[in-house]
Chains A and B, each alone.
Chain A
Amino acid sequence: MARTSWFKKIWKGRSKGVSTVIGTVFLILIIFMVSTNVLLWTFSQNAEYSQAVMEKNEEEAQRSTENIAVSDISYNAEVGQVHVEAKVTNEGPVPVQITTLWVLDNAIQKYGYNDAVSINLKAGDTFDFTGSNALTVAIENSGLPDELTSWFITARGNLIPLEEKYAGSGNTTIIIQEGTGYPEVTFGALVMDFDEFRYFAYMGYPYNQLINYPDGNLGFNIPKQVYVAYGCMLTNVDPSNRTMVLDSHSLLWQPGRSSVPESGWFIVNVNGTGLVQTTFSPITIGPGETKLIVFASDNDLSQGGFKRLDPPNVVTTVATFLLLHGTLDSSPYAQNVPFVSLFYS
């Protein structure tokens, strides 16, 4: 009705206010369309962001409900590698994927990781990675009984400690199998490498010159009634990371048995050509360091001169002990370590 009137008014020349009405209508239309457009778009974007927030909250909730229990943890090691054995149980309500294992050797401040771990656990599942399933982590220069800390990383980003700490005890003996050879043995602050035990024969002249030093003759069968010296590879694995100093009172000792007399080869210094020094300077073994220690003198070199020593003149087997004396940093250190058995023939 109104629109017909406007046309009549324009037709009849009475068009005052028509353009105002049209302009107002357009203005209202423009405001309506633009605001609707913006509002709808804003609503959709807000909905999208709200959805993202909800998803994020959901992820955080799932992350916080991950609950992994680790039990029966044990570490075995070769030099430079740590094998971790344990059982993990998913005690939470959400499935868990374990992606990475980290091991930190606190004593030497070295670390390693195994990022090829792929353990998927449904709620209630247990995974046993013992024996051949043990997880291996390479850590340069690491060896037990260092203080180890380890933790898992899950796919949701949780860090799960396997154990607060593993501290090697100064009183325990730990067998470390390396390759296919004899095991190394950790005893207190020392690792002794059985595979590297050796003896040296002497040259005729000079009388204190070792033959084939430092390789010597690996093994435990010693020719009887021949002057010999002994060499042991010792590694300082003191859990407190202290420096070991061995003084002249250290020796390799064989107790007497029936017709076999007691014997003791005191520690000596040997130069690069295999010449046994007639005086003794204390030998320092740093944390994690391995050194060839030679025992050769019949006398403690702080109390007497160097004198060679020959094994018993009988075919027999004898026990051998390492009697070590010195310091760990400023603390006194002494150990009596049962070591190898030797067969004289």
Chain B
Amino acid sequence: MLVRKISRIIFDKRAVSNAISATMLTGAVIALSLAVFGWSQTRALDYNREFGETVDAETAKLKEKLVFEYVSYGNPSYDTSVYLFNCGTVDDIEIKSAYVSNSTWLETFSTPTLYFLDGTSIPDQDLDVGEEGYFILLFSSDLSSGYYDVNIVTARGATFGSNFMV
């Protein structure tokens, strides 16, 4: 019985091509499916990573909190000293830019140098939690008397603002 079956498999060639083609087609489908699965998984992981980074960045930005302790204009000269305090819950707040404006005028400052309150430069140029510091804005001309806004943008994209009078 067994011999007959084996000999039939070996010598009976009917429908062999159908079986082979079906096997090949199935194999191709499986291979292609695995490839698609791998590609999809990679894309999903990329998406997850980017989404995670975005969420982390937004979370860190949310945790940033800077308070303007004082904004001084004209002391000692016509510069503006902006005193800040990091009272948030995230370290390494870098000041990317600052701008001073009123209703008709705007002047921007890129990456102002941060100092500790004792006047020494902050080595890492950022404010950690609980740190106080200040930066000085040197205007291109004297400010006319009036009410001015001062806004700062951190490296994470958070913005904080205050005002001062001249």
**Residue positions of A touching B, CB distance < 8 A:** 10-15, 18-19, 22-23, 26-27, 29-30, 33-34, 37-38, 41-42, 45-46, 48-49, 52-53, 55-56, 59, 99-100, 102, 104, 109-111, 113, 115, 153, 155-157, 159
Q: How far is the CB of A139 from chain B (nearest CB, A)?
A: 11
A15 touches B51 (CB 8 A): no
Q: How far is the CB of B53 from chain A (nearest CB, A)?
A: 10
A-B contact pairs, 29 of them (CB 8 A): A11-B19, A12-B15, A13-B14, A13-B15, A15-B18, A15-B19, A15-B21, A19-B25, A19-B26, A22-B30, A26-B33, A26-B34, A26-B37, A30-B37, A34-B44, A38-B44, A41-B52, A45-B51, A49-B58, A49-B62, A55-B89, A59-B89, A109-B74, A111-B75, A113-B117, A153-B67, A157-B67, A157-B85, A159-B67
Within 8 Å of chain A (Cβ to Cβ): is B48? yes
* B25, closest chain A residue (CB): A19
* A42, closest chain B residue (CB): B51
B75 touches A109 (CB 8 A): yes
* CB within 8 Å for A110 and B44 given contacts A100-B132, A159-B69: no
Residues from chain B with a CB closer than 8 A to the CB of A45 are 51-52, 55
B19 touches A37 (CB 8 A): no
* CB within 8 Å for A37 and B85 given contacts A52-B62, A111-B70, A113-B117: no
B29 touches A26 (CB 8 A): yes
- Can you list, as one digit per residue, whether each of B77-116 has a CB less than 8 Å from chain A (1) or not (0)? 0000001010101000000000000000000000000000
B40 touches A34 (CB 8 A): yes
B19 touches A10 (CB 8 A): yes
Residues from chain B with a CB closer than 8 A to the CB of A49 are 55, 58-59, 62
* CB within 8 Å for A111 and B72 given contacts A15-B18, A18-B26, A52-B63: yes
- Can you list, as one digit per residue, whether each of B37-52 has a CB less than 8 Å from chain A (1) or not (0)? 1001101110110011
A56 touches B62 (CB 8 A): yes
> A325 vs B161: C-alpha distance in the bound complex, in angstroms?
49
**Residue positions of B touching A, CB distance < 8 A:** 14-16, 18-19, 21-23, 25-26, 28-30, 32-34, 36-37, 40-41, 43-45, 47-48, 51-52, 55, 58-59, 62-63, 65, 67, 69-70, 72, 74-75, 83, 85, 87, 89, 117, 130, 132
Residues from chain B with a CB closer than 8 A to the CB of A12 are 15
> A48 vs B62: C-alpha distance in the bound complex, in angstroms?
12
Q: How far is the CB of B110 from chain A (nearest CB, A)?
A: 26
Q: How far is the CB of B72 from chain A (nearest CB, A)?
A: 6
* CB within 8 Å for A41 and B62 given contacts A102-B69, A111-B72, A153-B67: no
B62 touches A33 (CB 8 A): no
Residues from chain A with a CB closer than 8 A to the CB of B45 are 37
Contact of A37 among B21, B30, B44, B72 (CB under 8 A): B44
Q: How far is the CB of A46 from chain B (nearest CB, A)?
A: 8
